[in-house]
Amino acid sequence: MLRRKLFVQLTEKHMRLQHKTALITGGSSGIGRETALLFAREGARVVVADVDDAGGNETVTLISNEGLEAAYVHADVSKAADCEHMVAFAEKTYGALHILFNNAGIMHSNDDDAVSTEESVWDLTMNINVKGVFFGCKYGIPALRRAGGGSVINTASFVALLGAATPQIAYTASKGAVLSMSRELAIIHARENIRVNALCPGPLRTELLMKFLNTEEKKQRRLVHIPMGRFGEAKEMAQAALYLASDESSYVTGTEFLVDGGITAAYVTPEL
């Protein structure tokens, strides 16, 4: 019994998010699900928010099956009331909120260049990708204040810094807005023990991107620009988010945290 107690104590000491509550939007799949699983394994109590109730509850079940803590809340991040409710749910369920991961986002299949993209596609993309981050911060930051500080992670993209090889004007513009918003929020709240960083993934092998890059030609147009020569994985983004959520990044705020296989560091010719 004493040996088991000692093992538990030693394990808890190595948990990077012990006694913290994390709210993750878009937690039903992809980066959101992998991050929810990893955060829970690192000791966090996780609130999964999504419009996909089946997927969100599945994420919670996967966490619960490991004997870890998680809860699901339905939230359309483009709606202020839903964002206010998900934050209140997190505080009511677990007592406080310490980590806010504004990860929910879309990449519309009809997103193209400025000439071809319909206004409705533009509006939908902005409402979810930009307004969703704004609403998350609007209601989440006061909760972090009440907890004595914390970490905000906003999912941007490498296209916030580079133009995309495949036209996706609304998505690219939305991620540029997320990056700019993150920088400003980081400055505003730096003296409140609240850190704000933009996670900027490179091209990933997720359902979101693979649906958009739906031909081998489109995939190769992306891969040819990545020095590592492969798509990233959602698990790799979760590891980056864990660093930004943990106290190990206590002096990190206002960054464009690039996890992109080197795509923004080099110009790669098609011959390579």
- Any idea what the CATH number is for the domain that residue 27 is in? 3.40.50.720
Q: How confident is the model at residue 5 (pLDDT cuts 50, 70, 90)?
A: low
* 99-102 and 21-25 strand pairing: parallel
As a whole number, the mean pLDDT across the chain is 91
Confirm whether 190 is domain-assigned: yes
Residue 79 in 3-state DSSP? Answer: coil
Question: Of the listed 171, 243, 251, 267, which one is catalytic?
Answer: 171
Q: Is residue 189 part of a domain?
A: yes
Residues 47-77: pLDDT tens digits? 999 999 999 999 999 999 999 999 999 999 9
Q: Is residue 160 part of a domain?
A: yes
Q: Is residue 233 part of a domain?
A: yes
Query: Could you tell me if residue 77 is inside a domain?
Result: yes
Residue 214 vs residue 94, higher pLDDT = 94
pLDDT at 7: 43
Cα distance between residue 145 and residue 191, in whole Å: 11
Max Cα–Cα distance, the chain, nearest Å: 69
Helices (H), 147-206: 169-188
The pLDDT value given to residue 251: 98
**Rounded to an integer, what is the distance from CA 92 to the centroid of its chain?**
23
Q: How far apart are CA 156 and CA 174, in angstroms?
A: 8
Q: How many domains does one find in the chain?
A: 1
Residue 167: pLDDT band with limits 50, 70, 90:
confident
Give the model confidence (pLDDT) of 104-128 as tens digits: 999 998 999 999 999 999 999 999 9
Q: State which residues form the domain around 166.
A: 17-259
Q: Is 139 part of the annotated catalytic residue set?
A: no
Spatial CA neighbour of 181 closest among 159, 152, 158: 152
Give the integer Cα–Cα distance in Å for 44 and 99.
9
92 has pLDDT over 70? yes
Please name the helix (run of DSSP H) or strand (run of DSSP E) that holds residue 38, with its range, or none.
helix 30-41
Do the domain assignments include residue 5?
no
Q: Residue 240 has what pLDDT?
A: 98
Q: What is the DSSP letter of 228?
A: T
At residue 272 the predicted structure's pLDDT band, cuts being 50, 70 and 90, is very low
Decide if 173 is inside a domain: yes
pTM of the model: 0.91
Report the distance separating Cα 108 and Cα 178, nearest Å. Answer: 17
18: left (phi over 0), alpha (psi -120 to 50) or beta: beta
Residues 183, 202: Cα–Cα separation, whole Å: 19
Alpha carbon separation from 56 to 29, 30, 135 (Å, rounded): 8, 11, 20
Q: Give pLDDT tens digits for 194-248.
A: 999 999 998 888 776 777 677 777 777 777 778 888 888 999 999 999 999 999 9
- Give residues with Cβ within 8 angstroms of 147, minimum separation 6: 96, 97, 98
- Considering the domain boundaries, does residue 9 fall inside one? no
pLDDT at 169: 96
Write out pLDDT tens, residues 151-160. Answer: 999 999 999 9
Q: Is the pLDDT of residue 6 over 50?
A: no
